[in-house]
Amino acid sequence: MRVWMRVVAGCVIGVTLGMVFSARGGDLAEAMRIISSLVVNVGRFAIYPLIFFGLIISLCELRADKITGRIYLRSIGMIAAATAVMVVFGTLIVLLLAPRPIRPIFQEATVPLLPTVESLLADTFPRNMFAVFAGPGNFLLPVVVSATLLGFVFYAEGPTASPATDVVDSLARIAYRLNSWVTEIVGVLLIAVSAFWVLQLRMVSDLALFSPLVMVVAAVAALFVLVVYPLLIYFLGNRHNPAAWLYGLVPPAVVAFFSGDSYFSLGSMLRVSKENLGISREVSTPVLSLAVLFAKPGSAMVIAAGFITVLRSYIALEIPVHVALWIMGSTFLFSFLLGSVPGSTVLVGLSVLANGYGQGLEEIYLILLPALPILTGIAVLVDTITSGFIAFLIAQWERKRRIVDPLDFV
């Protein structure tokens, strides 16, 4: 059975179990939460070594082809453009459609903190380089930076580093194989994740209150994922079939939606980028590692739309133009730090906006807490598709992809 079939089947089984289980069973919900958290850890298991070793080799190859700067500049430009467009579009749509205000219902939540610039630098450049691998595994940036520096060193050393390069190349292939094994069982793992996702929503008594906001962000997400990106793939990607492109991204998209964790979906994305989309390693590893850290257009769009909705619900007034501009600008800027909280992008983003807005409204984002599973799922799905979109176009432009028949997709 193909990977995408396993993933879809696992989600169908999980959703069914989530509907059958009792929504009032506190012990059951807690057990499912623990299992779901463990499953996400398993899905992330091979990511760090895969990115570390793969990025070293990829950079050696990019340097040899003399396209390193062009690859990174194109990646950064596309990430910034996608984030800006989606934030502006999502904000304007919410302001125009004005989803129904949500009755204030506050709940308690533990919100991870965005790292400061000082802490980012301290984590990225510790006194001991090996300390990079001793962290909790919540932020890839230190590993990416270390691998990037080593990749430049390996290339600069040339033939004298050939034995070490061969070892790292072998380790990269081993890590890829390990990740492939993990993706083979993701369908089974998603049974627990999707069941817990449904249970979370079933435990919300007034879920219908959030339906207007959910429908708006889902419509914006669908517009970009199903219309805008496919059209750009067709016209900018040498008339490539956009349906085949979307079909190839089914596994990471489904994983992203139900898990709400961009690092969990990265394992599937790295595999399908090679085996479905035909993207070479020297493009997929650097571009996708950069995208999973900084490309958060879906999260930024959901954060801006959600904050405007709760702000309007609380103050019962129209949002002034300067406030809307502040929301868009702030969301755009701090979205590039959300890679440090891969499973909580929407929650953290809303808390940052609320605290930045102040005026005694620092906790208004808690109104949206019951709807976070579905809002985060939509956000991370768009983030994941965006990373696949960027990697595909860059590989196409640089002629670093091979043609794969959809019948051979995993």
Residue 319: per-residue pLDDT: 84
pLDDT at 258 over 90: yes
- Provide the token pair at 70: 């062009």
Model confidence at 349, in pLDDT bands (50, 70, 90)? very high
Mean pLDDT, residues 333-338: 93
Q: Whose CA is closest to 406, among 182, 242, 180, 282?
A: 242
Find out whether 145 and 131 touch, Cβ atoms under 8 Å. Answer: no
On the CB side of 207, CA atoms within 13 Å amount to 14
* 3-state secondary structure (DSSP) of residue 250: helix
C-alpha dihedral, 64 to 245 to 74 to 148, nearest 10°: -50
Give pLDDT tens digits for 200-242: 888 887 788 889 999 999 999 999 999 999 999 999 998 999 9
The predicted pLDDT at position 175 comes to: 95
32, exposed or middle or buried, with CB in 10 Å at 0-12, 13-18, 19+?
A: buried
pLDDT of residue 107: 61
**CB of 152 within 8 A of CB of 63?**
yes
Q: How far is Cα 6 from Cα 332, in angstroms, rounded to an integer?
A: 36
Residue 279 DSSP code: B
Q: Tokens 């000082």 identify what position?
A: 118
Per residue in 129-141, pLDDT tens? 888 877 776 789 9
The answer to whether residues 62 and 282 touch, using CB atoms and an 8 Å cutoff, is: yes
What is the C-alpha separation between 124 and 364, in angstroms, rounded? 33
Q: Tell whether the model's pLDDT for residue 317 goes beyond 90.
A: no
* Of 155 and 318, the one with more pLDDT: 155
Location of structure tokens 């090996």:
130
Q: Nearest CA to 48 among 129, 124, 140, 134? A: 140
| Percentage, residues of the chain above pLDDT 70 | 95
Q: Which of 50-64, 66-80, 127-141, 388-402 has the lowest mean pLDDT?
A: 127-141
The residue ranking higher by pLDDT, 264 or 343, is 264
Give domain 3-408's CATH architecture: Orthogonal Bundle (1.10)
Residue 125 confidence (pLDDT): 84
DSSP code of residue 225: I
Largest CA distance in the chain: 68
Is the confidence at residue 261, as pLDDT, over 90?
A: yes
**Three-state SS at 20:** helix
Whole-number pLDDT of residue 105: 62
- pLDDT at 343 (0 to 100): 86
Residue type, 40: V
Lowest mean pLDDT among 119-123, 193-197, 393-397, 399-403: 119-123
Whether residue 264 has pLDDT greater than 90 = yes
Neighbours of 385 (CB within 10 A): 25
Q: Which long-range contacts (C-beta less than 8 Å, at least 24 apart) are formed by 313-322?
A: 313/101, 313/102, 313/103, 313/104, 313/367, 314/104, 314/361, 314/364, 314/367, 315/361, 316/101, 319/95
% of residues, the chain, pLDDT over 90: 67
- Give the pair of three-digit tokens for residue 166: 């061969």
* Chain mean pLDDT for the chain: 90
Q: Cβ distance 352 to 237 under 8 Å?
A: no
Which contacts of 400-403 are long-range, i.e. CB under 8 A and separated by 24 or more positions?
400/279, 400/280, 400/282, 400/283, 401/277, 401/278, 401/279, 401/280, 401/283, 402/278, 402/280, 403/278
Q: What confidence score (pLDDT) does residue 26 get?
A: 67
**279: which strand partners?**
401
Provide mean pLDDT across the span 352-357: 91
Query: Which amino acid, one-letter code, is at 306?
Result: G
DSSP string covering 56-92, please? HHHHHHHHHHT-HHHHHHHHHHHHHHHHHHHHHHHHH
CA gap 249, 162 in Å, rounded: 35
pLDDT tier at 21, thresholds 50, 70, 90: confident
230: tokens are: 């496919």
Q: Looking up tokens 């129904």, which residue turns up?
A: 100
Cα(406)–Cα(165) distance, rounded to whole angstroms? 34
Residue 358, class by beta-carbon neighbours within 10 Å (0-12 exposed, 13-18 middle, 19+ buried)?
exposed
The confidence band for 316, taking pLDDT boundaries of 50, 70 and 90, is low
Confidence of residue 25 (pLDDT cuts 50, 70, 90): low
End-to-end CA distance of the chain: 9
